[in-house]
């Protein structure tokens, strides 16, 4: 045991010897520190306050102790005077350490330096910290350690705490936005016998009682569409999805998505909804449309640009979608594989390589090749293309939307056509989903928004790990 840890254990025993429970108990009627600070009136000396928080700094001076405590809303100074609290309580204050959680009751006043302070009538130890906080409260800096010990990261780095409080605020706003528009929130299975609704490698698990393999969902799409068939015309789910793929600053194997379906709409209706939702979030969280994101500035001012997949591909590669030889040549020049890959997948990979990085301000990319959109209606003007958009902001895909295919015969054909291709993972078709479609699904618009990436944008965090409380990490050696 390290020296400082041993000193804390010694203080722990001294507290017990004095009859003090070092891990406290119920502590009622606590005010948030923000509320206490906002309630201060300089012309009054009788305002009582009761706070609880973690000790950040301590400054003993003979018969007095100054310390700062912090809760989730802010920090406040506490003044402990021996003559006020009594000898026994004052002795307890000398057994406190940085990181201890303390309850304080007292009267508010302002010091000569202008700091609002609680003049303690009483203090209550609520939890003894047995480990030293990092770097004397300058904050936990080691990035990997911050992610492994998020509990320390949160109480030492206030900007991190604020990011996650904003995350909660963002998700609450999304719920309120959709509820006001008559959407209903639902829950669909996270363990599925057949993974569907996206192209991704699933995680596999096994149910012992039924002796069957199950898959953690890669998307809730096919179950939400079943609800459209059942008559739930506006549904959404803020859901956890799992994809057994790479980890990067923009990918975590477990992530949060908001997916919704609106009967009698299409991808144009989804564009309007998406733009209205995200711009309202920008104003709520940042109070403006211009957002800083790392070293770039993103202008979220509506209306947002709309351009087709083919237009953007030609604009940034110089190659027409119809020029298959040109696409292959350009792909090889860019170091991309082309052997045995279909023209549409070559075009899509080239788009990802050359176009995505240019899409800084919000851009709706419309009308993708139908072959890579098996759940989407085709465009009336050209069936080679599907009524699909992807929304890019800061060179990241943030949202994906379809005019949903509701022709059960065509859907059956496309899913069977996909079997055995590079986009097929399990070689299984969800026959029950096809059965549901045969009963009749209304025409609908569907939308998926990556919540983690959206929060990255709205909180200026360029790594997805900074907006997920407990990101997946490789085990320590």
Residue in the block written with tokens 């097929």 = 424
Identify the helix (H) or strand (E) that includes residue 177: helix 158-180
* Residues 447, 259 contacting (CB under 8 angstroms): yes
Residue in the block written with tokens 């999304």 = 174
CA distance 49 to 117: 10
CA distance 424 to 412: 15
Bridge partners of 427?
none
All residues at 6 or more sequence positions from 260 whose CB lies less than 8 Å from its CB, including other chains: 178, 183, 224, 234, 235, 236, 237, 446, 447
Q: HSE of 322 in the Cβ direction (CA atoms, 13 Å)?
A: 2
Residue in the block written with tokens 């996206």 = 198
CA distance 437 to 381: 25
The 10 Å CB-count burial string (b at 16+, else e) for 330-353 is bbeeeebebeeebbbbbbbbbbeb
390 in a known ligand binding site: yes
466 in a known ligand binding site: no
Angle between helix axes 221-229 and 431-438 (nearest 10 degrees) is: 30
CA angle 30, 33, 38 (to 5 degrees): 115
User: Computed from CA positions of residues 358, 359, 361, 367, in that sequence, does the dihedral angle turn out positive or negative?
Assistant: positive
Report the binding-site residues for Mg(2+). Answer: 390, 397
Report the binding-site residues. Answer: 390, 397
């Amino acid at each position: 045991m390290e020296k400082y840890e041993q000193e804390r254990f010694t203080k722990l025993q001294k507290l017990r010897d004095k009859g003090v429970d070092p891990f406290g108990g119920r502590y009622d009627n606590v005010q948030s520190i923000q509320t206490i600070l906002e309630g201060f009136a300089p012309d009054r000396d009788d305002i009582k306050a009761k706070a609880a928080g973690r000790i950040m700094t301590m400054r003993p001076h003979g018969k007095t102790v100054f310390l700062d405590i912090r809760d989730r809303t802010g920090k406040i100074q506490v003044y402990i005077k021996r003559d006020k609290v009594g000898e026994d309580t004052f002795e307890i204050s000398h057994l406190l350490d940085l990181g201890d959680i303390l309850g304080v009751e007292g009267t508010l006043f302002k010091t000569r330096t202008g700091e609002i302070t609680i003049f303690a009538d009483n203090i209550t130890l609520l939890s003894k910290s047995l480990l030293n906080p990092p770097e004397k409260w300058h904050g936990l800096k080691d990035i990997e350690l911050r992610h492994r010990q998020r509990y320390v990261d949160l109480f030492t780095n206030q900007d991190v705490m604020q990011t996650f409080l904003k995350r909660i605020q963002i998700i609450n706003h999304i719920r309120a936005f959709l509820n006001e528009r008559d959407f209903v929130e639902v829950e669909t299975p996270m363990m599925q016998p057949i993974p569907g609704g996206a192209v991704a490698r699933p995680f596999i698990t096994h149910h012992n009682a039924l002796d069957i393999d199950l898959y953690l969902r890669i998307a809730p799409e096919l179950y939400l569409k079943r609800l459209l068939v059942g008559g739930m015309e506006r549904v959404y789910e803020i859901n956890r999805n799992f994809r057994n793929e790479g980890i990067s600053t923009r990918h975590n194997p477990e992530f949060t998505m908001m997916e919704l379906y609106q009967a009698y709409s299409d991808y144009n209706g989804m564009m309007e909804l998406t733009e209205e939702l995200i711009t309202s979030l920008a104003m709520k969280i940042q109070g403006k449309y211009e957002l800083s994101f790392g070293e770039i500035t993103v202008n979220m001012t509506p209306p947002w640009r709309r351009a087709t997949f083919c237009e953007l591909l030609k604009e940034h590669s110089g190659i027409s979608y119809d020029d298959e030889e040109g696409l292959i040549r350009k792909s090889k020049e860019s170091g991309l594989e082309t052997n045995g890959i279909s023209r549409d997948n070559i075009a899509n990979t080239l788009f990802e390589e050359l176009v995505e990085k240019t899409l800084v301000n919000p851009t709706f990319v419309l009308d993708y090749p139908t072959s890579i959109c098996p759940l989407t209606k085709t465009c009336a003007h050209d069936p080679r293309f599907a009524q699909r958009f992807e929304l890019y902001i800061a060179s990241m895909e943030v949202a994906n939307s379809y005019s949903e295919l509701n022709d059960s015969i065509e859907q059956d054909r496309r899913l069977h056509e996909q079997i055995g291709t590079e986009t097929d993972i399990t070689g299984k078709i969800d026959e029950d989903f096809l059965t549901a479609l045969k009963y009749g699904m209304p025409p609908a618009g569907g939308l998926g928004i990556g919540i983690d990436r959206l929060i990255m944008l709205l909180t200026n965090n360029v790594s997805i790990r900074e907006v997920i409380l407990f990101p997946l990490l490789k085990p320590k050696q």
